[in-house]
Amino acid sequence: MKNRRGFTLVEMVIVIAIIVFLAGVTLNGISQYSRRANDLKANMNAHQAAYQSQEAIIDGYLMSTRATLGNPTTNNSVQAASPTFPDENPTEPAPTTAPTTAPTTAPTTAPTTAPTTAPTTAPTTAPTEPAAPANNQAPKVTSKNPLTKKGNPGSGVISIDNNADGSVTVNLLYNQWNDGQAVITKNADGSFNLKSLSGNTYYLGDKLGYNHDYSNGFKLSNNDINTLKNTFGLQIK
């Protein structure tokens, strides 16, 4: 019993120091692994969020194209040929045939002894009256911005065409993928009517509202005229 002795103070201190050192190394490694795990989790969350946002953008684009393809006249391939769409109402060239046959037959059948002033005045005044529309004035439609081309981002005006019947056909660019045609006429009281040839109310309705009859035409209010000016740069006078 006298030969047995315990650990000395120096030995205890050394053992405790070794234990503290090993614990510190272990805790440091664990903290590094924990930080790496948190960073990996954050990166995965960011990647998932980016993937979901891209998927939402693609879904939105597909929905817009489905809405456009649902109406064949709103397809880009059809809209390119839509200038030949007949405007059901304006068939003004008909009066040109009627007056031409009337004056030609009237002077030929009339006797030669009849005064020459009567047949000459009749055919000249007759065709001029039906040729002029009821409003007698075509709307002045211009674009305050340079005309844009299809494929450019944003809204704008592609082309402005003056028709023989006194109406104006405007090709509007709703966005860089979709465009449509609208015919603007002027009423006798100075107001304006707009009719969509392509029947595209999906994008035009976003600008002017869905409470209009785009297929048969509607009277433009001052608010509609200002909206067309601010959105497409279209000036109507």
How do residues 111-157 score in pLDDT, each as one tens digit? 444 444 444 444 454 444 444 444 457 898 999 877 887 777 778 88
Cα atoms in the 13 Å half-sphere on the side-chain side of 236: 31
Torsion angle of C-alpha atoms 96, 100, 101, 103, degrees rounded to 10: 140
The answer to the question of residue 113 being in a domain is yes
The answer to the question of residue 108 being in a domain is yes
| 141 & 228 share domain | yes
Please give the single-letter amino acid code of residue 151: G
pLDDT digits (tens, 9 = 90+) for 169-209: 988 887 767 788 888 999 989 899 989 887 656 667 878 88
pLDDT digits (tens, 9 = 90+) for 74-114: 444 444 444 444 444 545 555 444 444 444 444 444 444 44
Rounded to two decimals, the pTM is 0.43
Give the pair of three-digit tokens for residue 226.
């200002």
pLDDT value, residue 129: 42
**Phi, psi angle pair for 156, to nearest 5°:** 180, -165
The answer to the question of residue 231 being in a domain is yes
Q: Which of 173, 177, 175, 213 is nearest to 196 (CA)?
A: 213
Locate all alpha helices (DSSP H) within 5-150, ordered by sequence.
9-70, 76-79, 94-109, 117-131
How many domains would you assign to the chain? 3
The answer to the question of residue 155 being in a domain is yes
